[in-house]
Structure 1
Amino acid sequence: MGFSAAWLGLREPADLAARDPSLLEAAGACVPEGGLVLDLGCGTGSTARAFASIGFSDLRWRFFDNDPALLAEAARNIPQAEMALGNLVDIDVLPLEGVSLVTASALLDLMPQCWVEALADKLWQAGIPFYAALNYDGRMGWTPELPLDGAVTKYFNRHQRTDKGIGIALGPKAGAEAALALRSRGFNVTFADSPWRLGAAQATLHAELLGGIGSAAAEAGLNDAAEWALARCAAVEKSEGMIGHTDLLAIVPARASA
């Protein structure tokens, strides 16, 4: 499980445009002055840049990732942040000391149910709110339509539910399952749509994505997936795509004083 800095850079503008602004604002407001944010699977630091883009430029960050190359890139981009190299699989090693908010972007759909449950337990015990953005939700669509669009979505979603190296991934169920796990512990959870909208201005990203979708659908058993991807890529500058995502914010409710 891992991504290149080039891919993360290519998708960052679409991610920023897709994030629900009200949840991003509310998540930033969870952090008191001088508070520390832990970003799980930080990549090159795009989540920190998203917060800075709406005025939260003074947040302190602790970046956590299992890829030293991505952490090195994040350190170049945001040198004042703390860097923590570690294995996301082990919830017990997450560096939560002094943390006011935990964030994760485009991560939960890669993780298994047991990991999400363990994270929910850990955050509830620590009393830390959680902002998880850009969780793939299983919806894809294109204009103009092609006959195989529905089948490609079905087989791609099947591929998303395979083992990414740490257990069967939640894939399209990630946002809903995470919200259920967090609510069952006692968090107040707010949910919002955050779809990618891909047009001519995002043609390079769209073409790269189409290749990946076609490959995944083919691996899941759809024989004509490669031909579908080629046809879509050939018309990418004249088509529009929607890739569904959701954002969630889980906040610990105020407890009445004794």
Structure 2
Amino acid sequence: MSGFSAEWLALRAPADTAARDAGLLRAAADLAPARVMDLGCGTGAMLATLQPLLPRPAAWVLVDGDVGLLDQAAQRAAALGVVATPQACDLLATPLPAAAADLVTATALFDLVSADWLDRFLDALSARRLPLYAALSYDGGMAWRPPHPLDGAVTAAFNRHQRGPKGFGGPALGPEAPAALVAGLEARGYRVTVADSPWQVGADQPAFTAALLDGIAAAVAEQGSMPTIADWLAARRAATHHTEVGHRDLLAVPL
């Protein structure tokens, strides 16, 4: 199952924090959950972001298939004085663990999953009538300043890569994930609110910029259809630029 390394999560953390829509984050906190289940918790960024906004302390269930990341998330919770139960889980087999919860959260998860997995997850979520706060689902948009003639081709090739299998039982939803989430939740009787949450990546984030460029170029190279990707990467590395990468946040509450 595809996941993220601790190093990548650390590099992207400032961009994630800045990108989250403040209104939806506050609305999720205003649900005042006593128990939060965070799927694909990584190193615990959701807990660190949401917990301080809650009107009362919550008990967290931290779910991930990577026991190394899960251990870091548990250590982070302990350092923050948060009661948290780590749960190693194969999310492919179990999209929604049976642990008690009042709110389900996830960050940068749903663009990795297949349409079949999403249906199984939403069926389980709606059967328990649980609200969902899903942050930072990639929506397929990338904008670069200044532009380069190959930007459009790079974005298209990258998005094809994002639709490839990521370990969740079939082709990933990739940039279609935000729309698929909305449609699936509304069909199951949820009130859904969506907000843009794009990364803004500039010259003040050189390490993250370098990792982002290398990751995009590697994904495009895997497609084998763009021999000029090395030229684009060299040009982007050589010039100071600003990158906007589209994401969307979502809050869904059962009616």
TMscore range, shorter length:
over 0.9
The answer as to whether partners of 2:110 and 2:177 remain within 8 angstroms in 1 is yes
Q: Does 1:224 align with 2:223?
A: no
The structural deviation recorded for 1:132 is 0.7
TM-score (norm 2): 0.93
The structural deviation recorded for 1:15 is 0.3
Distance 1:118 1:227, change over 3 A: same
Provide the residue aligned with 2:13 in structure 1: 12
Provide the residue aligned with 2:66 in structure 1: 67
1:124-162 CA-partner distances (Å, limit 9, x unpaired): 110100011100000001101111000000000011000
What is the DSSP-based 3-state SS (H/G/I as helix, E as strand, rest coil) of the residue aligned with 1:248?
strand
Q: Distance in 2 between the 1:36 and 1:216 partners?
A: 37
The structural deviation recorded for 1:53 is 5.0
Q: Distance in 1 between the 2:7 and 2:136 partners?
A: 18
Q: Does 1:196 align with 2:203?
A: no
What is the DSSP-based 3-state SS (H/G/I as helix, E as strand, rest coil) of the residue aligned with 2:127?
helix
Q: Does 1:25 align with 2:26?
A: yes
Provide the residue aligned with 1:256 in structure 2: none
The structural deviation recorded for 1:196 is 0.3
1:187-214 CA-partner distances (Å, limit 9, x unpaired): 1100110000111112211110011101
Structure 1 stretch displaced more, 116-125 or 50-59: 50-59
The answer as to whether partners of 1:51 and 1:57 remain within 8 angstroms in 2 is no
The answer as to whether partners of 1:64 and 1:83 remain within 8 angstroms in 2 is yes
The answer as to whether partners of 2:198 and 2:247 remain within 8 angstroms in 1 is yes
The answer as to whether partners of 1:194 and 1:246 remain within 8 angstroms in 2 is yes
Provide the residue aligned with 2:153 in structure 1: 151
Provide the residue aligned with 2:181 in structure 1: 178
1:40-76 CA-partner distances (Å, limit 9, x unpaired): 0000000111113545672221100000100111111
User: Match for 1:85: what amino acid?
Assistant: A
The answer as to whether partners of 1:162 and 1:168 remain within 8 angstroms in 2 is yes
TM-score (norm 1): 0.92
What is the DSSP-based 3-state SS (H/G/I as helix, E as strand, rest coil) of the residue aligned with 1:110?
coil
Q: Does 1:105 align with 2:107?
A: yes
Q: Distance in 1 between the 2:176 and 2:146 partners?
A: 27
Unaligned runs of 5+ in 1: 254-258
1:204-243 → structure 2 map (5 Å cutoff): 204-220=207-223, 221-235=225-239, 238-243=240-245
1:76-115 → structure 2 map (5 Å cutoff): 76-79=75-78, 80-91=83-94, 94-115=96-117
Q: Distance in 1 between the 2:226 and 2:52 partners?
A: 41
Provide the aligned C-alpha RMSD in A. 1.4
1:87-137 CA-partner distances (Å, limit 9, x unpaired): 011236x33432000011000000001111111111111010001110000
Report sequence identity in percent: 47
Aligned residues: 248
